[in-house]
Amino acid sequence: MSKEMEALTEILKTQTELLANMRTQISELSNNKMKSDVHVPWPPPLSISGETSAAFKTFEDGWANYVAATGMEKWGTERESQKASLLLSAIGAAANNKYLFDVADATKRSTKELMEVLRDRMVKKRNVIYNRFMFNSRIQKENERFDSFLLDLQKLISTCEYKEFEQHLLRDRIVVGIMDSNLKKELLKAEKLDLTLAIDMCRSAEATSDQLLVLQSQEKEINKVSTSKGKNVCKFCGESHIFSKKLCPAYGKQCQNCGAYNHNKKVCKKKSKKYIKEVEDSFSSDEEELHIGKVVRSKRSGSVHGEMHVEVMPL
């Protein structure tokens, strides 16, 4: 019985080990399937046009993201050749022919070595004094948006080696280089002005300016429509203007034809100056214009008769 029990125990142990191995294999297969379902696109190839240092930085960032997304950083040294081949493929034929044409056995190099070769050949070691001159000469151009100005300043200062003073000098360059003189005064008056506050103030001022331009444009359109509706030919001056006595060119003026006030010769209804000029101020009332025309005295009764003409001028 003891031998049979030992044999049974050995069988159960073997089966347990087999089951554990099967579970491990299933888990690995499942993980591999999940990885294969995730498609990581290639980074953009290394550009050979434009500013070479900027092109290298763009490719370097894209390659770093690709390595992280694919889990390539966890690969062992035995797969270094495969990583180098992938890097060369990502770089592209044009950049390989231009920058790595003389690198022997490129696939046998590490990806770190290949990137260092590219960095040495593409990143220009420009004169720091010149870089600082370009940064400190930069001012905002006419009609240039603030974010465009800020982005260019950030690119320029990245090559100046200001190190821990970079944010302070970037803030100062914004204050000095901003076009809006009123905003510049506000920046100079601000207490504890740091880079973040300076950027926020500039963006806020630009947004407010944009809103004012929209409102002014809308107001002009409204006034244009209102003015076109309110105009007509005035019977007191013969011109076209908004109906208001204060806007009438004839208001307070004497007619050269009849001598009456508040209308001109152009619209005068009298054919001659034979009428006796005795004019009441026609604009003493906001609604009526009064003037006396012909005055007749009766010889029999001694009474005096006059002709009064009333003209109404709309407000």
What's the pLDDT tens digit per position in 87-144? 988 998 888 888 888 887 777 888 888 988 888 888 766 678 888 999 999 999 999 9
pLDDT for 241-295, tens place per residue?
777 777 788 888 888 888 888 888 888 887 654 444 444 444 444 444 445 555 5
pLDDT for 33-49, tens place per residue?
444 445 788 888 998 88
User: Domain 128-225, CATH 1.10.3470 — does that match?
Assistant: no
Cα separation of 305 and 309, whole Å?
13
Backbone angles phi, psi at 45, to 5 degrees: -65, 160
Q: What is the mean pLDDT of residues 6-21?
A: 68
Q: In terms of pLDDT, which residue wins out, 46 or 233?
A: 46
User: Would you list the DSSP string of 167-190?
Assistant: HHHHHHHHHHH-S-HHHHHHHHH-
pLDDT of res. 75: 85
CB-CB contact of 263 with 250 (8 Å): yes
What are the angstrom distances between the C-alpha of 296 and each of 52, 304, 307?
103, 6, 9
pLDDT of res. 213: 85
pLDDT of res. 178: 94
Q: What is the pTM of this model?
A: 0.40
pLDDT for 193-215, tens place per residue?
999 999 999 999 999 988 888 88
